[in-house]
Chain A
């Protein structure tokens, strides 16, 4: 620890950590490499040449199902879930800063949302829509199902944020004559903005990848994870890996853009 020499334990732990990272990335890189398999290549090594055949195949709709439409659905659903998660968690976070009747039961309901198995949520919402005579669809029932997974994370993050938020900034603003709306918009909001972006990113990627909660709730049209799940059972060509590579690259782009936005905001604030 501290300034002393690295101990033997450090090297053992560093090696353990290295193996863990290899364990995380190894299989993923196999999929990535194999998605460039030649036209005659199969699902395993060795590579039979290098081609973009399987990426092309992905965009020929008739060959592997409707990748484009399911991607669009998942993307829009992700955005919808992201926006609602940010807004609802922010409001709930603000509410929980004050005492109100029913705060504890609402807190437990939120935590329960995290531990209720996703397939139960899926089945429950599916049966509920059936009984109410509504048609399940990705923008209604699946949207609600995804929110039961993203909201608890959002609310808990807002809890953590507001627990470490000093009220003296707001008091100072109020002393300077700011209304409560001005205090919120000009003092509180800019300070918690990076966390809000974090909540949004979290909401988007949880929704974009959510599978079990979409199973009974997406209605007649698939989201991307459902499409991929369907492909695991009946597709035996590397087109599956091409799809994996494309969606993974897309996730990374979203994360990079978000991290970039957060860094940019930090720099702008440092300059101001």
Chain B
């Protein structure tokens, strides 16, 4: 009896997780897959099997442009956050000497990420706006005569806000893997005559790859799914796949939104699988 209970224990312990993720993740996605083949009109949606939702979506030039635009945001934001994340983590892990200072500086980086995304987004408005800090500075200093218009409500603003929102998701995993690098490896490289940049390129970068991969997965999936930043910061002048879905949802075109959801999900999973092909992050846990 006792051994039976003991053997059942892990199953009992894992059940709540399975039930929650089964009901609130797996089931809804399966349902979206089904609904994406349904018919709909202004009043509701009707069980059916038609591929029109996909055909309409993928057959339209607007959709392709939206996907390309989303991928463009993902690529640019990924490149910037990876660059910033690597050097910030490198500075913290290898140049800050005391463990306490390290932790304090790391916390300084994390604190802003604990406030609402939307608040952090709108905090750019008084900085970038037509009468914002940057423009009044530029005009005041006589560098430009008219306020620069493209600072706010532009692709530039979208990318800036996304970098602001998502860099921590890159810094944390890279910092985490770098903290586990044995410093004697760096010493050995130095004794063998390696210069600073050779150490970074040949020792630290390869060992930090799993962290970069995890950070990349976060940043890429977050950017691909983003609609609020694109909506608020572009002032409605730019589009993303998620924003397109959001608009279909507000028009109650759920089957069309579901078709887009499935396409987006497949795309994101392909990107994640691609990143996982380059590095094996399971070793990291």
Interface residues, chain A, with chain B CB atoms under 8 Å away: 1-2, 7, 9-10, 13-14, 16-17, 20-21, 23-28, 30-31, 34, 43-45, 87-89, 91-92, 94-100, 102-103, 106, 109-110, 112-121, 123-128, 131, 144-145, 147-148, 151, 155-156, 159-160, 163, 180, 205, 209, 211-212, 215-216, 224-225, 228-229, 232, 240-241, 243-244, 247-248, 251-252, 255
Q: Which of A98, A151, A255 contacts B10 (CB 8 A)?
A: A98
How many inter-chain residue pairs (CB < 8 Å) link A and B?
Answer: 248
Q: Which residues of A contact B268 (CB under 8 A)?
A: 115-117
0/1 interface trace, chain B 159-177, chain A, CB 8 Å (1 if under): 0000010010000000000
Contact B95 A10 (CB under 8 A): yes
Whether B245 pairs with A123 at a CB distance below 8 angstroms is yes
Query: Is A205's CB under 8 angstroms from B114's CB?
Result: yes
Within 8 Å CB of B26, what residues of A?
109
Question: Which one of A115, A148, A211, A252 lies within 8 Å of B111 (CB-CB)?
Answer: A252
Most buried by A among B25, B31, B131, B196: B25
Whether B17 lies near A91 (C-beta < 8 A) is yes
Q: Which of B21, B261, B264 contacts A113 (CB 8 A)?
A: B21
For B167, list chain A residues within 8 Å (CB): 20
Partner of B126, one of A14, A31, A224, A243: A31
Contact A151 B21, beta carbon cutoff 8 Å? yes
Tell me whether A212 and B228 are in contact (CB under 8 A). Answer: yes
Supposing A30-B133, A113-B21 touch, asked if A24 and B164 sit within 8 A by C-beta, the answer is yes
A100 lies within 8 A of B25 (CB): no
A119 contacts B246, C-beta separation under 8 Å: yes
Q: Say whether, besides A128-B31, A248-B115, A252-B111, A91 and B13 are in contact (CB < 8 Å).
A: yes
Which residue of chain B lies nearest to A129 when distances are taken between CB atoms in the complex?
Answer: B28
Interface centre among A109, A120, A156, A244 (most CB of B within 10 A): A120
Q: Give the chain A neighbours of B227 by CB distance below 8 A.
A: 119, 212
B217, A244: Cβ atoms under 8 Å?
Answer: no
Q: How far is the CA of A7 from the CA of B199 in the complex (A)?
A: 15
Shortest beta-carbon distance from B148 to chain A in Å: 14
**Docked complex Cα distance between A266 and B251 (Å):** 53
Which chain B residues lie closer than 8 Å to A43 at the CB level? Answer: 125-126, 129
Q: Tell me which of B17, B105, B190, B232 contacts A232 (CB under 8 A).
A: B232
Chain B: interface residue total (CB-CB under 8 A): 82
8 other contacts beyond A13-B90, A209-B115, A215-B249, with CB at 8 A cut-off? A2-B187, A9-B196, A31-B119, A119-B261, A148-B25, A211-B118, A244-B123, A251-B115
In contact, B285 and A160 (Cβ under 8 angstroms): yes
18 contacts between A and B (CB under 8 A): A17-B105, A20-B167, A44-B125, A45-B126, A91-B13, A92-B14, A95-B11, A95-B13, A99-B10, A106-B14, A112-B25, A117-B268, A119-B245, A124-B31, A209-B116, A251-B115, A252-B114, A255-B114
Closest-CB distance, A94 to chain B (whole angstroms): 5
Q: Which of B112, B126, B221 contacts A25 (CB 8 A)?
A: B112
Candidates A100, A118, A163; contact of B225 at CB < 8 Å = A118
The verdict on B32 contacting chain A, using a C-beta distance below 8 Å, is: yes
Q: Once bound together, how far apart are the Cα atoms of A248 and B117, in whole Å?
A: 11
Assess whether B205 is interfacial by the CB under 8 Å rule: no
Judge if B55 is at the interface, Cβ distance under 8 Å.
no
- The reply to whether B112 and A228 form a contact with Cβ atoms under 8 Å apart is no
Contacts of B14 in A (CB 8 A): 91-92, 95-96, 100, 102-103, 106
Q: Which residues in A have their C-beta under 8 angstroms from that of B139?
A: none
Query: Are the CB atoms of B28 and A31 closer together than 8 Å?
Result: no
Given contacts A27-B164, A124-B31, contact A119 B24 (CB under 8 A): no
| Minimum Cβ distance to chain A for residue B177 (Å) | 12
Q: Is the CB of A127 within 8 A of B122?
A: no
> How distant is B241 from chain A, measured CB to nearest CB, in Å?
9
A-B pairs, top 3 by smallest CB distance, nearest first, are A124-B28, A117-B225, A95-B13
Contact B109 A247 (CB under 8 A): no
- Which of A112, A229, A241 contacts B118 (CB under 8 A)? A229
Pairwise interchain contact A117-B95, C-beta atoms closer than 8 A: no
List CB contacts (< 8 Å) of B1-54 with chain A.
6, 9-11, 13-14, 16-18, 20-29, 31-32, 35
The answer to whether A120 and B221 touch across the interface, beta carbons within 8 angstroms, is no
| Residue B156 CB within 8 A of the other chain | no
Task: Give Cα distance in the complex from A272 to B10, angstroms.
Answer: 33
Please, which residues of chain A bring their CB within 8 A of the CB of B154? Answer: none
CB distance from A142 to the nearest CB of B (A): 10
Minimum CB–CB distance for A160 against chain B, Å: 7
